[in-house]
Amino acid sequence: MIALLFTGSAVLAQHRENSEQIKTLKIAFFTEKLELTPEEASVFWPIYNAHENAKEELRAEQRKEIRDRFETLESLSEAEAKNALERYLKLEEKEEELDKAYYKRISKEFSAVRTLKLFQAEQEFRRRLLQEYRKRKGQQP
């Protein structure tokens, strides 16, 4: 039992460490790709972080209300499934609205070109992160 507790604590600590490392890499990557000056970074990062926090809240709501709520789909009645699907679609719409508002705000603060660069940087960062994950996973026994 104690070993399990220590193992769980170690995994959580590793997860937090990895999250912080990814955040640090993301800041450096976006700052470079968007060529942010210190003044621009002081405007950009609070907007970006607020958006990321709002999206994480939506994801947590999706997990709580839909994904983690039902152990198996086979145990759902048709009415429960329809309600869950409807709620999921509403949360997806909410996320889309959140993204639209975010990109509009960024384009007002910077420019449409730099907003598209941001979109491109986000995709490239996710792609590189996934490649690194796959590479590391392949190296593990």
At residue 101, the pLDDT reads 96
**Burial of 66 (C-beta count, 10 Å sphere; 0-12/13-18/19+):** middle
Task: Please report the pLDDT score of residue 132 as a whole number.
Answer: 86
Which DSSP string corresponds to 67-99?
ITT-S-GGG--HHHHHHHHHHHHHHHHHHHHHH
What's the pLDDT at 70? 64
pTM, to two decimals: 0.75
Arithmetic mean of pLDDT, 42-63: 93
Cα 37 to Cα 40, 73, 120, distances in angstroms: 5, 50, 19
Structure tokens at 49: 């972080």
- What's the pLDDT tens digit per position in 21-41? 888 999 999 999 999 999 999
Segment 105-116, tens digit of pLDDT: 999 999 999 999
